[in-house]
Amino acid sequence: MKENYYITTEGVLARKENTVYFASKKTGKVPIPIQKVYAIYALAPLTLTSGVIHFLAQNNIPVFFFNYYGFYDATLYPREPIQSGVSIVNQVKAYLDPSKRMHLAKMFIYGAARNMIRNMERYKLEDHKSKINELISEIVRSSSITGLMNVEARIRQVYYNGLDQVLPEEFMIGKRTRRPPENKGNALISFGNSLLYATTLAEIYHTSLNPTVSFLHEPSERRFSLALDISEVFKPLIVDRLVLYLVNKKIIQPEDFRKEFNGVLLKNKGRKKYVRAYHERLRKKIKHRKLRRNVSYQHLIRLECYKIMKFILGVSESYEPFVIWW
């Protein structure tokens, strides 16, 4: 079974014949079993030789680069292994069709909101659950993407206020801030969201969906906006639950952060703790109610891509987003 490979130490990726090596001052020269690698996450400065770039492309392995601050920066994106002109044409048609686009955009927000409610239920935060339920009714009534984004922002603020009820004071999120995050809670959410964006992009890569054509977030240059759409649905399960676990179990400590300019960021040792737990979270399996078999959290994202494909290809009349059932 192929798995993600995380690089948290500055070094070089090089190829010798059919073997890839990671070399750094701390680790020395370490061979990487490339046939077992699904995607590479470069969370520290990484140099790649031309030989290894060609080899990774031949093996359909994307590399995700994160900058000094822990934010997603770029992707070494090999030629898509599954290309379909029919799929791309229909995806663009769905974007240009106001009805289909609004349906998908609404379902992304609805799925995210329902998953937020599941987290509120987990911690018996009934007031916040009720407020989110009230706002969900506005999703149906929204008639524009801008209006939907406004509802989504209000839902998230209620939700983060709820998370603050179960987070230690030092890790409270408060107002959501990003580049840079202004406190420890926001730093954890931002780092997790960056990782999830890359993970979602990796799953899209293995389907015939085009990652640049999105429905909730406006397509634009220099970003794979469909990954933003789909990751919204999975943030409550993969990122938010992980943050609560890391903080409440005291795995992440206040000393794992540093102040930088006007923000707060994870130190390298904090990132390593987070990445280790994130990797385990993606590998975690759950019995799928419809498939009747165990699937990993990461594979749930691939299944979501397939559902979207069925809708844009006309195989399904509607798209029903993933909602946590446990």
Please name each of the domains of the chain with its CATH number.
Answer: 3-61 (3.100.10.20), 91-312 (1.20.120.920)
pLDDT at 61: 94
Greatest alpha-carbon span in the chain? 61
Name residue 10's beta-bridge partners: none
Closest CA to 7 of 71, 69, 72, 64: 64
Task: List per-block mean pLDDT (blocks of 10 residues) for the chain, which spans 326 residues.
Answer: 93 90 90 93 94 92 93 87 85 97 98 98 96 95 94 96 96 90 96 97 94 92 88 98 97 95 92 97 94 95 97 95 95
Question: How many Å apart are CA 13 and CA 52, to the nearest integer?
Answer: 7
Collapse the DSSP code of 40 into the 3-class scheme (helix H, G, I; strand E, B; otherwise coil) and give the result.
Answer: strand
pLDDT at 220: 73
Phi and psi at 252, nearest 5°, equal: -95, 125
- DSSP single-letter state for residue 142: -
Name residue 286's beta-bridge partners: 295
Strands of 9-167 (E only): list them: 11-16, 19-24, 28-32, 37-42, 46-48, 63-66, 72-76
Query: Cis before residue 180, ω within 30 degrees of 0?
Result: yes
pTM of the model: 0.94
> Residues 34, 38, 44, 48: is their CA dihedral positive or negative?
positive
